[in-house]
Amino acid sequence: MENWLKTGDGKKIKLLFDGKVTIVSPENTSNIIPLFCPCCNLPMKDNSDSISYRKIKVCNKCDERWTNKPNVKWPDGPDKKSDEWNAYIDNRKLVERTAINFR
Ligand SMILES: [Zn+2]
């Protein structure tokens, strides 16, 4: 990444506005779990989501529901225009109305 300086301890820094603002970021961001699933765009909530994300880059619910379907391949995932997908998302949104757990 351009303009980033490695600090040597696993972090990188970027100076903005002639050094008045410093951004510090981890060098390796590949193991960071996003807040929202890239497939269903619903919040990633717990450790099972982290495990599924590390495996196939989606949340646990998407993994359980779609991974073993014969016509579904990651990272494309299921057909987002299908009735089956719409029913899945509608059901997920009903169930997901609980607080996010940041453990
Ligand atoms: Zn998902």
- Block means of pLDDT (10 residues each) for the chain, 103 residues, are 82 91 85 91 92 94 94 92 95 76 68
User: For the chain, which residues make up each domain, given as ranges?
Assistant: 1-29, 33-103
Ligand 1 midpoint to CA 45 (Å):
10
As a whole number of angstroms, the distance between CA 65 and CA 80 comes to 14
Residues around the ion ligand 1 (C-beta < 5 A):
37, 39-40, 58-59, 62
Locate all alpha helices (DSSP H) within the chain, ordered by sequence. Answer: 47-56, 60-66, 83-95
What is the pTM for the complete model shown? 0.69
pLDDT of residue 30: 72
Tell which residue, 70, 47, 42, 66, has the closest CA to residue 56.
Answer: 66
Find tokens 């909530």 and name the residue.
45
